[in-house]
Amino acid sequence: MLNFGDRESLPTVLLIDDDMVSREVMATVLTMSGYAVHTSTDGGAAVQLLATGNCAPGVILMDAQMPGLSGIPLVEQLRANSNAGLYAMSGSNPAIEVIEACDGFLLKPFTPDALTRLLEDHVNKVKIPAQRAPQAAELVVNPETLAQLRGLMPEASVRQIYSAIVADLLKRIAAIEIAIASGDSVEIRRIGHAIKGGCSMAGAMQAASLGEQLEKGVHESEGNQLDNSSSVLIDLRTAAANLERMLEAEFPA
């Protein structure tokens, strides 16, 4: 079960891995350990995500050997776009210069304990609580709201609420994709407003914050507002996945 009380002291994690199984297993382990997690399937997409400013990780975990942007060129791009701790992972020994350019290395396969221990060591090393104020938007679910709901209704009913939010988010993500394709900024704003309202009521903070960004984005001057919406959409998919992982951890079937 997630220890929400400790979550505010934990860094957000950006996980970059082209292997779906590895990526999902690691993301699940980290989410269940209390970390807010963003995922990326390749180096280029990760750099673009950082460049938008919508993802500000405290730790980046990168597969050292991926198709496309990888190795030292990826390290350089990640360093240029983030001050996060950078840790390489690989199923074989990568070039020594890659290991030396990162803050640490994990050889696959590694255990969940090895992964969480790496993050714990990083937190202790940089003294996150003293240096970095927690950001409410990074919380997948507000712990106070979750506790209140649990005090008002059975666990099954609370699970049903968050399951409905996940299902609704997936439908709205599809609708946003259509609106972006047709250049309909007004519809993007309307959907963002609905996401913000519904998710805020249930304490789904990460998704609510992204809904607010979509709502406000269309008020900006014409130009790259649709590109901004596309970037937020990537994070919204991550928020939905994080909610699903929270459900698996907090409300096992």
Q: Which CATH number covers residue 27?
A: 3.40.50.2300
pLDDT grade for 138, boundaries at 50, 70 and 90: low
pTM value?
0.56
CATH number at residue 243: 1.20.120.160
Number of domains in the chain: 2
- Model confidence at 147: pLDDT above 70: yes
Let me know whether 74 and 157 are in one domain. no
Let me know whether 110 and 177 are in one domain. no
* Average pLDDT for the chain: 83
Picking from 134, 160, 181, the residue at the C-terminal end of a domain is 134
Q: What is the pLDDT of residue 220?
A: 42
Let me know whether 33 and 71 are in one domain. yes
Q: What is the pLDDT of residue 225?
A: 58
Q: What is the pLDDT of residue 46?
A: 93
What's the rounded Cα separation, in Å, for the pair 99 and 46?
19
Let me know whether 187 and 217 are in one domain. yes
Let me know whether 130 and 157 are in one domain. no
pLDDT grade for 146, boundaries at 50, 70 and 90: confident
CA 12 vs CA 7, 17, 60, 119, 223: distances in Å: 10, 16, 9, 10, 30
Picking from 92, 114, 134, the residue at the C-terminal end of a domain is 134
Range in 12-16, 77-81, 215-219, 245-249 with the lowest mean pLDDT: 215-219
What residues make up the domain containing 246?
143-250
pLDDT grade for 152, boundaries at 50, 70 and 90: confident
Q: 22 or 125: whose pLDDT is higher?
A: 22
Q: What is the pLDDT of residue 62?
A: 95
Let me know whether 124 and 159 are in one domain. no
Let me know whether 106 and 174 are in one domain. no
Quickly list DSSP for 80-105. Answer: HH--SEEEEEESS---HHHHHHSSEE
Q: What is the pLDDT of residue 53?
A: 77
Picking from 134, 167, 194, the residue at the C-terminal end of a domain is 134
Q: 17 or 95: whose pLDDT is higher?
A: 17
